[in-house]
Structure 1
């Protein structure tokens, strides 16, 4: 069945409901190049403004999955479970979490992405490890899951190609924020990868894509329902991204912090979220009796990390890149750190070279920020609040400008914020 793209645009412009046949056709035709970018842009804007019904979102997601291949992980030999984060600042959780869950008996098919703007990307962090390769064929992906229990790599070109094309279009047309399109984008890739269970880390706050809790909750509920509709056990946690996670923001510095967690240390918030997500993932595939804390204490999680790195060509013993230039920001008075704007810290790291404005831009593996004080910590005038690192000294002034404004000082400590606000299943 064939349709006119303009009729589909008009339907959604006028707050109508698209039929299954209309959705199937427009997604497939856009993937084939029969629907022009300007037409899909108009439709995406109409969706942003007028929304979609749950039925429309489910069908749109199914159409994007059908645009490419769906991996079969049934022969991996372990229950498969993945985690997806909506992104934030200092969010290195995938790095310790993936080998930890694998050490507890599950297989973790982690398809990850790169950073854009103020948020970091898992693949960029891993490529700070000398030799680490982020491209795996479908066969290599499945075999590594069978033998190692974990793989972290880029999605292959054959998975949900409609999403890849539409995502690039949304990025330049002001339609990224459309919740139906966010949910279908994330879930089409996760369902296509073949995992049997999925745990979502949906963030809210200054450094998150969804700043408001209500929007994050709507997105989480939408994705959980999409997962269930496609036979994937799906759970979501709403987690706070008002302040950065941990003390390291960047690539090599976040790898170092992840290794601290796997060695039994690390910042309390990173450890807490890693363990909470690990327990959710293990429960989702019937491995709730496994103890992730024991896997860390015994060294099995670290062994799993080293096996993962070696399997993808990396050297787990190689030194990580270190920046040449360092500048510090100090406290101007006695008191307490009252706030730490995650968005501003992310922008500062981006200006240091850790982020990119376009997907094809290179990033610096060694650039980043170390937070010496976090909200609630007492400080004295002259104490170091944070350390900015860059390969190029010329990048420091612009980063310092925004980083200074990210820290608040007060005479009393701020109220404590719960790291995990809610669980949606």
Structure 2
């Protein structure tokens, strides 16, 4: 008979608990048998001593199985994507409907923003009427109608993760590779996926700012997910600057709509095509990754992805004519201020984390989980790394609720964007592929 004290003692002695013990512990997290003190001790022991490859897989599957695991009977593969987080990263809102337009089914369980990174659910919340907390019946109905749904995890999806995550946040154990891997994958695998692609960010706007750390996380995630039976590949992608030229919930939705309606392209389409190409190839919907990427780009360009996005929004309670009339549905800030370059120069560096925190300070993100978000505020028209700006040309546009908020954001923006006389070398958007 397993018990929390014996499992924690094993970990403290650098021994890996077996699968039965980890299953028991995950169930104890879910049903309250394991106390908060024991949860914290477990998290710290894992953080300090690790679980190894076998233990990491066992913990991931135990946390997945602590709640409901969805099953699907659909005429196409069930695919999904996860990003480790960045700024201006609204790829999910482009990729999910594009995958659906290519014949995949996408039950995308997403999260909310915390810290400097934005949350996909918060972005969707900027659309009037949209509900991201759906019952299983309504989730299945949305998938049937639109081919995709972007939703929050229900209480019965990986409940052990919800409990352990809250403990990790207050015990300084968030950074554990084993716990990060189990947390991400337990929720994704509970969605009953046939294939998964991971977008592991590195650079100034990412959590993993070091390339080696990002590769290490990508390798752990891929190895663990594949061992758990889900075909998985990771791309390590650049986050040395915002991916989209907009940061903030309604502003990022607006940028997504410009992409889906053919008014903009750029890095959002490039990353969506790269990630989607991998998924379509792994899911048997494309002969290879390049053919898959071409298919994703095609459905974005010809409007089929926009149709799926509109169907998803309507099925989740949003406006039926959102795609056709999106500018009138999205909220606008009361103070809009252009920040101009003070001299002619090249953009040599962008501190993405600082820009993300500036948006949080505007009210567009959360410093703590209970904070209320203003969906209208943020930054738009942010310059790109390596571009040359003349004196008086805009570096970005601030969208704020009050002039004083805009003043602080302008000061933060000027500190976050570095300029110089020479153009810098710009990193490749996709740095590596694993799996």
Q: With structure 1 as the length reference, what TM-score do the two structures score? A: 0.96
Q: Secondary structure at the match of 1:30?
A: helix
Equivalent residue for 1:72?
Answer: 71
Equivalent residue for 2:13?
Answer: 14
Shift of 1:30: 2.6
Equivalent residue for 1:325?
Answer: 335
- Matches of 2:5 and 2:66 in 1, distance apart? 21
Task: Determine whether 1:46 maps to 2:56.
Answer: no
Shift of 1:389: 0.9
Task: Determine whether 1:98 maps to 2:102.
Answer: no
Map 1:13-412 → 2, pairs under 5 A: 13-73=12-72, 75-288=73-286, 291-315=295-319, 316=322, 317=325, 318-412=328-422
The worse-fitting range, judged by mean Cα deviation, of 95-104 and 133-142 is 133-142
Shift of 1:269: 1.3
Shift of 1:294: 2.2
- Matches of 2:117 and 2:246 in 1, distance apart? 13
- Matches of 1:420 and 1:354 in 2, distance apart? 28
- Matches of 2:219 and 2:122 in 1, distance apart? 29
Q: Does the 8 A contact of 1:204 with 1:239 survive in 2?
A: yes
> What is the count of residue pairs matched by the alignment?
423
Q: Does the 8 A contact of 2:269 with 2:297 survive in 1?
A: no
CA RMSD of aligned residues (A): 1.5
- Matches of 1:372 and 1:148 in 2, distance apart? 32
Q: Does the 8 A contact of 2:204 with 2:350 survive in 1?
A: no
Gaps spanning 5+ residues in structure 1: where?
none
- Matches of 2:99 and 2:381 in 1, distance apart? 28
Q: Secondary structure at the match of 2:247?
A: strand
Shift of 1:103: 0.7
- Matches of 2:29 and 2:247 in 1, distance apart? 38
Q: Does the 8 A contact of 2:145 with 2:311 survive in 1?
A: no
Q: Does the 8 A contact of 1:77 with 1:146 survive in 2?
A: no
Gaps spanning 5+ residues in structure 2: where?
none
Shift of 1:270: 1.3
Q: Does the 8 A contact of 1:92 with 1:254 survive in 2?
A: yes
Q: Deviations over 1:53-77 (max 9, x none)?
A: 111101111111121010011x222
Shift of 1:348: 0.6
- Matches of 1:14 and 1:254 in 2, distance apart? 48
Q: Secondary structure at the match of 1:79?
A: coil
- Matches of 1:30 and 1:230 in 2, distance apart? 21
Shift of 1:267: 4.6
- Matches of 2:2 and 2:282 in 1, distance apart? 41
- Matches of 2:49 and 2:410 in 1, distance apart? 41
Shift of 1:271: 1.6
Q: Does the 8 A contact of 1:239 with 1:422 survive in 2?
A: yes
- Matches of 2:265 and 2:359 in 1, distance apart? 19
- Matches of 2:197 and 2:188 in 1, distance apart? 10
Q: Deviations over 1:48-103 (max 9, x none)?
A: 12222111101111111121010011x22221100111111000000111111111
Q: Does the 8 A contact of 2:379 with 2:399 survive in 1?
A: yes
Q: Secondary structure at the match of 1:166?
A: helix
